[in-house]
Chain A
Amino acid sequence: MAHLHISHVDLEFTVGAERQDTLHSMLRRGLMRHTEQRTVKALQDVSITIAAGERVGLIGHNGAGKSTLLKVMAGIYPPKRGAVAVDGHVCPLFEFVTGFEMEATGWENIRTRALLLGMSPREIDRKIDSIAAFSNLGEFLDIPVRHYSSGMFVRLAFATSTAVDPQILLLDEVMAAGDAVFINSARQRMNDLMLRASVVVFASHSLDVLPSFCDRTILLQKGRVIADGPTAEVVRLYEAQTAVPVT
């Protein structure tokens, strides 16, 4: 059964060193013999266990570490300390469009994007017609997406990205909230996707979507887990925090 286990994970971003190092700065540091690296602690001692069948919400202010935590779960960021154990195929859906090439046709882009999301060529053959149908683009699929309007582009990207059958689905903000751009059918399709997955973790700001979908919610603050429990309680705590007037 799909599950996810994270124990005592620390993650730091080094600002100014690993990010924008030049041979010059490296030399200077080497000569001066003391490091002036600044580190940002993105996650601190985070431990979470999520079992099959769970749908977990992640809330917290901007910069609390929600997206970073999702990327650790996805295996994109290796933690500095601690362990990440994942059983099952992980599908991160933080955005829809990575892999899309403007010069390629709609059909080509469906195949590329689907492969990147972990579908097998045979699975794609099976699903490609229904993806095309949902995108409602008809013969536009034969031409390069460069000619699409932004609405058409989003429809194609959304139709393709939501066709996966993930065991562990990781969603970030936009995907989970269902942007205002998306009509009801898109919301329905998103819900179907979340129901198909064995484990869902999604980061969200929108407190109205969360309770309807997650029994359990985790509250992050400055990279730490502040609360982890029934959604209603955690959301109440979060709202109480937010309600404190900012001086």
Chain B
Amino acid sequence: MTSPMRSSFDDIARSAALWPIWARLGLQDVRLKFRRSAIGPAWIFINLAILVVSIGFIYANLLGQEPRQFIPYLTIGMILWAYLTNSIIDGGNAFVHSEGYIKQISLPIYVYLFRFFISITATMLITMCAFVIVAVLYRLPVGLGTLLAVPGLLMLMATSLLLIAIFAHLNARFRDVAHLASVAMQVLFYVTPVIFPAHLLQNRGRLAWIVELNPMFHLLEVVRRPLLSNSAAEWHSYLVAVGIIAVLGTVSMVLVRVYGRRIVFAL
């Protein structure tokens, strides 16, 4: 405690150790969001259900897909996509929205990144229940292969935490970043196989690269494939996912090193 220039990486470790604080704040954020509504978190389902039903039946017809396969695919895709989007857009506000805390309370600042990670991840896990319902309705195959979704989900969660860290720093420093990111995510949504099956593009030789070179696609696949088909994703999807985590990890470490506690001056 006595070193004057405690490194930022010590701050991260101290922040992690303060889990009773960030876990409570994060879960409280989720609870309070729905406290005054009559049906509470059920809104998350309703929101998703309307989207899936409306997009699902139109696109299944449009793209000549079996609803039996397409609806579960769409449901899980939307859930995971929303998770990544929330990490970037909402998570990007982790420092900006915590200004009051950061400037009044002497806790290491990374506590607030974990807080946002908890609330965003808890929201995703709640929506996962919607997928379970769909999976039961459409009798998706379940087995040992389904369990492979767990490591996939862990990779996705690591990605979420790192995205929150990166965009929280960038957005504190340059307030345009949130807007820029939200535009970028919209574009990515349409080129990433979420509301259309990947093989439609993959089968068109010339456009296959849009899928194969899209890191977002592989991130989705490591969770989506095991859940839908009781089997592992392509091995190179795992490789890409690990690569993404390595790159994001490096970028966030650089940002933490460059800004550290000085991020308070940008707020």
Contacting chain B: which of A44-52, A88-96, A194-202? A88-96
Contact with B along A50-70 (1 / 0, CB 8 A): 000000000000000000000
Check A115/B21 contact, CB under 8 A, given A22-B176, A76-B106, A92-B105. Answer: yes
Residue of B nearest to A75 (CB): B106
Q: With the chains together, A117 CA to B20 CA distance in Å?
A: 13
**Inter-subunit contact B104/A112 (CB<8 Å):** no
Q: Which residues of B contact A13 (CB under 8 A)?
A: 265
Check A84/B4 contact, CB under 8 A, given A103-B32, A112-B25. Answer: yes
Q: Which residues of A contact B262 (CB under 8 A)?
A: 78
Residue of B nearest to A94 (CB): B104
Residue of A nearest to B180 (CB): A23
The bracket for how many chain B residues form the interface is 20 to 34
Q: Which residues of A contact B236 (CB under 8 A)?
A: none
The bracket for how many chain A residues form the interface is 35 or more
Contacting chain A: which of B67-75, B95-103, B146-154, B184-192? B95-103
Our pick among A18, A92, A101, A115 for the contact of B173 (Cβ within 8 Å) is A18
Quick check: is B5 within 8 A (CB to CB) of the other chain?
A: yes
Q: Which residues of A contact B107 (CB under 8 A)?
A: 116
**Inter-subunit contact B174/A104 (CB<8 Å):** no
List residues 29-44 of chain A with CB under 8 A from any CB of chain B. Answer: none
Check A116/B1 contact, CB under 8 A, given A22-B176, A98-B100. Answer: no
Quick check: is B175 within 8 A (CB to CB) of the other chain?
A: yes
**Inter-subunit contact A112/B103 (CB<8 Å):** no
Number of A-B contacts (CB under 8 A): 84
Q: With the chains together, A95 CA to B176 CA distance in Å?
A: 31
Quick check: is A209 within 8 A (CB to CB) of the other chain?
A: no
Residue of B nearest to A22 (CB): B176
Q: With the chains together, A120 CA to B17 CA distance in Å?
A: 12
Q: Which residues of A contact B (CB under 8 A)?
A: 13-14, 18-24, 26, 71, 74-78, 82-88, 90-92, 94-95, 98-99, 101, 103-104, 108, 111-112, 115-117, 120-121, 144
Q: Which residues of B contact A (CB under 8 A)?
A: 1-5, 20-21, 24-25, 28, 32, 35-36, 100-107, 173-176, 260-262, 264-266
Q: What are 20 A-B contacts with C-beta separation under 8 Å?
A: A20-B175, A21-B266, A22-B174, A22-B175, A76-B106, A76-B264, A77-B264, A78-B261, A82-B4, A83-B4, A86-B2, A87-B1, A88-B1, A98-B104, A99-B105, A103-B32, A104-B35, A112-B25, A115-B21, A120-B20
Additional 4 contacts, C-beta under 8 A, given A23-B174, A76-B264, A111-B24: A18-B266, A75-B261, A101-B32, A121-B20
